[in-house]
Amino acid sequence: MSYKKLQTNFERELLLSLIISLRSGKISSKKAKLIAGEFLTVLKNETTVEGFMSSLSKKAEFYTEIREAFLKAAAEYEKEMVDEKIGNVRNMLKGGVD
């Protein structure tokens, strides 16, 4: 999974979480804007997957919506990375060992 795809997946999950929280009355529109602003700050400042994930995990301590989106996006990212590595090993084994 590319860094851009991870960002897009996280953004989608956060937006969905914010919409659900707004509709159910769990948060106000002011708080939703604050959470979105926190995400945009991370998005603008981080250039690596590690930095992005680290910054979001710190924000997740304070915002439930970021935590929910982080857990979903991180799980997808990890699964795809594991699948990719397993595929690489499989291809190496098919090619034989020198």
Number of Cβ atoms within 10 Å of the Cβ of 65: 27
Among 89, 54, 48, 93, smallest CA distance to 74 is for: 54
Q: What is the pTM of this model?
A: 0.77
Q: What is the mean pLDDT of residues 37-43?
A: 94
Q: What is the pLDDT of residue 2?
A: 83
d(CA 89, CA 9): 26
Q: Structural domain boundaries of the chain? A: 3-95
| pLDDT, tens digit (0-9, with 9 covering 90-100), for 6-16 | 899 999 999 99
